[in-house]
């Protein structure tokens, strides 16, 4: 017949292992929110960033906005569209540039791949980065986002003014 003295420490150790596993599982599932894996940009506390995220639409590209407590961050859908205000403005680049309603945007080819498209405002400080991860209707979304960014005065253009 087994001794209870030897079984009790083994039982306590087993309970601790199960409790630790449950805590790690809960932490992993808790990290699936709108902000999971997203870090605020260096200048995310800038007044323009507060204005941009406060005025960000409740729906973008047909996707609902999700709450975020991170400064300078707006998220739509299941992180299908992520806006990060306060990123370092890009310098002169060979990456493709295009204008949407008076705002120059650069496609960051180094971070874009497959269905993931990363664009950054050009010539505005703070700069705003938008990540489209398989999100539909990127053109319509950029029209709405350009309206948020246009109040930041441009200091340069990646496209010649017409």
Asked if residue 101 and residue 26 are part of one domain, the reply reads no
Residues of the domain holding 123: 47-149
The pLDDT-based confidence of 137 (bands split at 50, 70, 90) is: confident
The domain total for the chain is 2
Whether residue 63 sits in one domain with residue 26: no
Residues 100 and 89: beta-carbon distance below 8 Å: no
pLDDT tops 50 at residue 115: yes
Burial class (CB in 10 A: 0-12, 13-18, 19+), 137: middle
* Whole-structure pTM value: 0.77
pLDDT at 135: 73
Do 58 and 98 fall into the same domain?
yes
pLDDT of residue 104: 97
Q: Are residues 139 and 101 in the same domain?
A: yes
From the list 77, 82, 79, the residue with the least C-alpha distance to 41 is 82
User: Does one domain contain both 12 and 58?
Assistant: no
Q: What is the DSSP letter of 68?
A: -
One domain, residues 8 and 52? no
- Same domain (yes/no): 87, 55: yes
In angstroms, rounded to a whole number, what is the distance separating the alpha carbons of residues 28 and 153? 41
132 in the same domain as 77: yes
Over 50: is that where the pLDDT of 15 sits? no
**Do 56 and 24 share a domain, yes or no?**
no
The mean per-residue pLDDT over the stretch 103-111 comes to 97
In terms of Cα–Cα distance, which of 58, 62, 60, 86 is closest to 72?
86
Using CA atoms, how far apart are residues 97 and 118, in angstroms rounded to an integer?
Answer: 12
Which residue is listed with tokens 């087993």?
A: 14
Q: Could you tell me if 72 and 4 lie in one domain?
A: no
- Say yes or no to pLDDT of 41 above 60: yes
Whether 37 has a pLDDT exceeding 60, the answer reads: yes
């Amino acid at each position: 017949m087994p001794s209870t003295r030897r079984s009790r420490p083994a039982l306590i150790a087993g309970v601790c292992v199960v409790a630790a596993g449950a805590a790690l599982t809960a932490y992993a599932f808790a990290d699936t929110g709108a902000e999971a894996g997203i870090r605020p940009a260096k200048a995310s506390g800038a007044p323009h960033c507060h204005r941009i995220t406060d005025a960000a639409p409740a729906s973008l590209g047909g996707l609902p906005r999700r709450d975020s407590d991170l400064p300078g961050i707006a998220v739509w859908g299941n992180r299908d569209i992520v806006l990060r205000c306060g990123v370092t403005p890009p310098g002169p680049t060979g990456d493709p540039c295009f204008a949407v309603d008076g705002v120059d945007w650069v496609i960051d080819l180094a971070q874009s791949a497959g269905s993931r498209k990363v664009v950054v405002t050009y010539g505005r400080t703070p700069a705003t980065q938008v990540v489209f991860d398989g999100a539909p209707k990127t053109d319509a979304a950029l029209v709405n986002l350009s309206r948020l960014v246009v109040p930041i005065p441009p200091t340069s253009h990646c496209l010649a003014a017409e």
